[in-house]
Amino acid sequence: MKAMFYEKRDDGRVKCRLCPHNCLITEGHAGICGARRNSNHDMEIPYFGRLSSLAVDPIEKKPLYHFYPASTVLSAGFWGCSFRCPFCQNYSISQNHDLHSDYFSPEELVQLAVRKKSFGIAYTYSEPLIHFEYILETGKIARKKGIKNILVSNGYINPEPADELLEYLDAANIDLKTFNSDFYRSEIGGKLEDVKRFIRQAAPRVSLEVTTLIIPSKNDTDEEISELAGFLAGISKDIPLHLSCYYPTYKYVIPPTSPELVERLGETAKKHLNYVYLGNVGLRETNTYCPGCGECLIRRSGYSVSLKGLEGNSCKKCGTKVPVVGI
Ligand code: SF4
């Protein structure tokens, strides 16, 4: 499989144009993500089809609450990441690579989704975008079979490849890790503006939801969450925002986020957005309420989901249309 979005330099280096890092890679080395290498003065993608994880998950686990609620989805994970989050909850696959992991061709992955009777394939767990060629090819085959393509990602991709991939995506959950550019640059290893640009680009083209992991003392002020939610509301007040509790892992030993903190920040975000959800908050509710009359439309308890408040895409009580796809 030939790599896409790169250029060869006369001095033998290759420049990757896939994500905003735009790595200039010398012979025998890989870019920041570890997934794309300069081999014989050409771009090699050695992990094409090498999956780190494969499972059938509730769509709510991605999390996607407004896309085919109460369905299960075939979920495929990869190796590597373009970011270096010291709090990564999947660091064993995002910061590692294994050339000997199971190989699934794009056709085989789509066939598996068909066999599992999955309505879609989620590209998830570690960062899928650095495996652009695989997702694009699988996405094209899946689309022909009527299978949906779902991206769960850090949203770090240049506009041109993003445009090509969005053609085949149906839904996405993008991590907006903070609204602080310094935090993005110094601890995550990316630029806030580039993630914002992808969110703006994707919002009109797919069913989009956004997740922010709330880390105490890092991104937990009302001002920051208000700005973040205000940015999303500037695109659409209907973009669902998931505020999740962090748990210490990988390099971070900061104590876990309290559900009360996430609840308070959720109230702040609700001043801007119609749909704000709390994640990893134990038994606290994660229902969807009608922005028109306040009626409960979708009731969730763990991964058990009831759509009793909906009549098609509308509130049964007041008729307000709600942006939920696939019911
Ligand atoms: S996809 Fe990987 S190699 Fe390409 S620019 Fe991004 S980090 Fe660098």
Mean of pLDDT values over 228-246: 98
- Whose Cα sits closest to atom 2 in ligand 1? 33
* Percent of the chain clearing pLDDT 90 (strictly above): 96
Give the integer Cα–Cα distance in Å for 282 and 301.
10
Flag whether pLDDT at 119 surpasses 80.
Answer: yes
Ligand 1 closest atom vs CA 19? 6
Ligand 1 closest atom vs CA 36? 3
Mean of pLDDT values over 204-224: 98
Give the integer Cα–Cα distance in Å for 41 and 6.
11
Pocket test for ligand 1, best of 14, 22, 32 (most atoms within 8 A of CB): 32
What one-character-per-residue DSSP string does 44-80 give? Answer: E-TTTTB-SEEEEEEGGGTT-SSBSTT-EEEEEE-S-
CA 18 to chain centre: 17
- What pLDDT digit, counting tens, does each position of 22-69 carry? 999 999 999 999 999 999 999 999 999 999 999 999 999 999 999 999
- 146: amino acid identity, one letter: G
Threshold 0.95, pTM exceeds: yes
- Whose Cα sits closest to atom 6 in ligand 1? 19
pLDDT computed for residue 59 by the predictor: 97
Q: How far is the CA of 33 from the centre of ligand 1 (A)?
A: 6
pLDDT computed for residue 283 by the predictor: 66
The first and second tokens of residue 19, run together, are 């994500």
Bridge partners for 42 per DSSP: 39
Residue 289 and residue 322 in contact, taking contact as beta carbons nearer than 8 Å: no
Q: Which residues line ligand 1 (CB under 6 A)?
A: 16, 18-19, 21-23, 31-33, 35-36, 82, 130
Flag whether pLDDT at 78 surpasses 70.
Answer: yes
Bridge partners for 8 per DSSP: 14
Q: How far is the CA of 32 from the centre of ligand 1 (A)?
A: 6
Ligand 1 closest atom vs CA 156? 6
- What pLDDT digit, counting tens, does each position of 153-172 carry? 999 999 999 999 999 999 99
- What pLDDT digit, counting tens, does each position of 266-314 carry? 999 999 999 999 998 876 779 999 999 999 999 998 889 999 999 999 9
Residue 223 and residue 118 in contact, taking contact as beta carbons nearer than 8 Å: no
- Whose Cα sits closest to atom 5 in ligand 1? 22
* Residue whose pair of structure tokens reads 């996430």 in the numeric block: 262
* Percent of the chain clearing pLDDT 70 (strictly above): 100
**Domains contained in the chain, CATH given:** 6-44 (no CATH), 53-284 (3.20.20.70), 287-327 (no CATH)
Q: How far is the CA of 36 from the centre of ligand 1 (A)?
A: 7
pLDDT computed for residue 116 by the predictor: 97
> Which stretches of the chain are assigned E, i.e. beta strand?
6-8, 14-16, 24-25, 37-39, 42-44, 53-58, 72-77, 120-124, 148-153, 171-175, 207-214, 241-245, 276-279, 288-289, 296-301, 304-306, 310-311, 314-315
Ligand 1 closest atom vs CA 32? 7
